[in-house]
Amino acid sequence: MNLPLVDRLGLEGILLIVPTRHSDARGFFSETYNRAAFREIGVTSDFIQDNHSLSRAPGTVRGLHFQIAPFAQAKLVRVLHGAVCDVAVDIRRSSPTYGRSVTATLSAKNGAQLFIPAGFAHGFCTLEPDTEVFYKVDAPYSREHERGLRWDDAALGIEWPVPESGAVVLERDRSYPALEALPAFFD
């Protein structure tokens, strides 16, 4: 079994995963997901759905999103084209790292993936034009259970790679509550 490189980013359950790439004159081959290998590194989620997004403009911010029970989702995020600054925020009230965030640069070039368990808000900012993000989830999408956290809440201390004035953000994402006003969805 070929285990990927794993970096634990300081928030319980968040993993930066870099699968091995086998390169030659033609390009490369990489096994991006193998259930047995991922279980070996602690990812036991049963992924049931794949999602794929395209963001045309650099500086596009998507997030910070999550779903609540019974449709709370763990995610395995990677970039197929372009690059993102990927963000996860701990919204588990009983966690010692509640309200803290981590960021990672995911790109088609570096092949890195971010595993984000349920109990975290997730978002990203595109760093290149025509960025395509692909992610696996372990629960289906449910509009009724979708929630969000304000992406630019100063209390989170996220250093986004784009100023608020230059960000391409949906009004819905701008209207989400700050951490201080967020209900305790995950205890």
Indicate if 65 belongs to the active site: yes
> Hunting for tokens 């289906």 — which residue is that?
140
From first CA to last CA, the distance across the chain in angstroms is 36
Provide the residue type at 161 as one letter: P
> Active-site residue among 81, 135, 145, 176?
135
C-alpha–C-alpha distance, residues 43 and 25, integer Å: 33
SS3 label, residue 174: helix
Indicate if 33 belongs to the active site: no
C-alpha–C-alpha distance, residues 150 and 51, integer Å: 22
- Strand (E) or helix (H) holding 36: helix 35-40
CA angle 118, 33, 95 (to 5 degrees): 20
Residues near 22 by beta carbon (within 8 Å), at least 6 away in sequence: 28, 29, 30
What residues act catalytically? 65, 135
